[in-house]
Amino acid sequence: MNNYLIREMQESDIPQAIKIWVEQNKLYCSDNMAFPGYWRDNTNGIAGYLNRRVQSGTAVVIELDNRVIGYQGYEEFPFNGEKSAFCPVVLHAVVEEYKEEAYTLLYKYVSQRWVLKNILNHMWIINFNDLKLRNILYDLGFGSYLIDAFACTAGHTLHCNESYVVKRAGEKDKGDLYDLIEESREYYSSAPLFLRRDQYSMEEVESFIKGGNLFIAWDKEMAIGFINVSVSQDKNIIEMWTENCGLIDEIGAYIKPQYRGKGIGKELLKNVFDFCKSNSIQSIHVDYETANIFANKFWKKYFRPMLLSVRRTINKNIND
């Protein structure tokens, strides 16, 4: 077995860490035009993020023969009220040749730290196409949790079922939209998702409508689904989108169960693509839980998964 050394990351290690990360990003992400190449072409943001991890003592490197071959950084924060450690995709990378041993040793090292601090919820974001790393983490007890996917607005021509009407939401629709959002909360809290979502007030629903980019599907007088798109004003180093990206976020999208499979989701999405094209927005981002069975099938038809969040919960009695 190779003689690996894991130690605290120093500021002088950051250029080599970034070089490894850029190569990893090129390997797994460069073939998708919708996924921003900005982050590998402009690495100052990653350098600053890594430097903050160095200053807080939450980043390590792994060496082989006095050469840095990988690194891992992390953040600590409460997630749904539970102490958690989180490792986004820019805070880890390993030279491909040493991936299996190095990643296993890195996680063994940092997870011991986390558990001694009673941090039992462990989360990573990895490149979706990195099947080797995915298998390493699955063998360590992680499971799929969330997918970030991207689509190019160019080249998409959606032929839809026009039996249902889709219109931009207006002030008069706030009651119908509020009821749909409440219904979606019940859907998210049910099996197999078990995801708790915050309740929105009528004033907050009105603010979504005033944003101007919320579309509702109607069956005569009944609101049966919605989709919301916003436009990013800045960059997000966690989800990897940049400025002027369409974001299907906040309340996201929802269709009443009895209306699914009828082309309504495609019709709603067509309005999003049309809106983005008319506003010179070239890329759209969506994230969705892998346990959301309907969403998992739908989004993959039109968006390409690029990032995968995985999660592991350590046995609660380990420190008893």
Measure the CA angle with vertex 287, ends 283 and 293; round to 5°. Answer: 130
**Is there a single domain that holds both residue 102 and residue 229?**
no
Are the C-beta atoms of residues 218 and 165 closer than 8 Å to each other?
yes
Alpha-carbon distances of 61 from 16, 22, 110, 185, rounded to whole Å? 10, 16, 11, 42
Indicate the pTM of the whole model.
0.95
DSSP alpha helices (H): ranges in 57-122?
99-116
**Is there a single domain that holds both residue 222 and residue 110?**
no
**Is there a single domain that holds both residue 142 and residue 170?**
no
Domain limits at 190?
A: 165-281
187: Cα separation from own chain's centroid:
20
Tens of pLDDT, residue by residue, the chain (320 residues): 579 999 999 999 999 999 999 999 999 999 999 999 999 999 999 999 999 999 999 999 999 999 999 999 999 999 988 999 999 999 999 999 999 999 999 999 999 999 999 999 999 999 999 999 999 999 999 999 999 999 999 876 676 666 789 999 999 999 999 999 999 999 999 999 999 899 999 999 999 999 879 999 999 999 999 999 999 999 999 999 999 999 998 899 999 999 999 999 999 999 999 999 999 999 999 999 999 999 999 999 999 999 999 999 999 999 98
Express each pLDDT in 133-148 by its tens digit.
999 999 999 999 999 9
24 within domain boundaries:
yes
Express each pLDDT in 34-62 by its tens digit.
999 999 999 999 999 999 999 999 999 99
Strands 82-87, 121-127: pairing kind: parallel
**Is there a single domain that holds both residue 15 and residue 121?**
yes
d(CA 300, CA 297): 6
Structural domain count of the chain: 2
For position 1, what pLDDT does the model report? 57
Q: Looking at residue 276, which CATH number applies to its domain?
A: 3.40.630.30
